[in-house]
Copies of this chain bind each other. A is one copy, B any other.
């Protein structure tokens, strides 16, 4: 069978699996559920994944890759202060989140599977790598801000990066718990506060704020 075709089918399966695992949870999902949802026979799944656990783990990898690829700082906002661009980036991420909030339970499944059970170590390792990358990414941006004298040189970029990530991570949870929760505002305000908090004094800040305004308006409008 053509390798290409095989990969395409595998991805279709992963998509179906994502939906079912999301809906019913890992333990609550049967292989038959996934097969039915994918419109194929139960046994066929085992031609692509060697076990339910493998399917789930592969799903995590596939999903994580997708998330990392979905938004990028580079493409968020045009020229502007780092802070403004980062806020635009944050905005993109939250928009992404909102667009895929119906999949949020899947994230919780991944976390819980990383907490216990047979996949724990595999998942923890993969997640560690993912978080490291992510922290690296955010940390790098913050350092750009320092280099451009926008952020205070003493800023513990690693710490702040992880704080921002944590904020975004768990905002999703609050939103999932209560869809009335205004995740965009909460995220923007919090990230904004953090960045303000590490910004260098008054006078420079002023101009950056103005820009942010113009920028944001364009984006959202």
Contact = CB atoms under 8 A, between A and B. Distances in A.
Q: Main secondary structure on chain A at its contact with chain B?
A: helix
A25 B112 CA distance: 8
B173 A111 contact: yes
A56 to B, nearest CB: 12
- In which size bucket is the chain A interface? 35 or more
Given A114-B177, A131-B174, A213-B215, 16 more contacts: A22-B116, A24-B117, A25-B112, A154-B213, A159-B182, A166-B174, A169-B169, A188-B220, A192-B212, A193-B193, A193-B198, A196-B198, A204-B205, A204-B206, A205-B208, A216-B216
23 contacts: A26-B27, A26-B112, A105-B115, A108-B111, A109-B116, A111-B173, A112-B112, A128-B178, A131-B177, A159-B185, A163-B190, A166-B174, A166-B186, A169-B169, A182-B220, A188-B216, A193-B194, A195-B197, A202-B208, A209-B212, A211-B213, A216-B216, A219-B220
Contacts of A162: 171, 174, 181, 186, 190
Interface in A126-170: 127-128, 131-132, 154-156, 158-160, 162-170
Interface of A: 22-28, 104-106, 108-109, 111-117, 124, 127-128, 131-132, 154-156, 158-160, 162-171, 173-174, 176-178, 181-182, 184-198, 201-206, 208-213, 215-217, 219-220
Contacts of A132: 178
Contacts of A169: 166, 169-170, 173
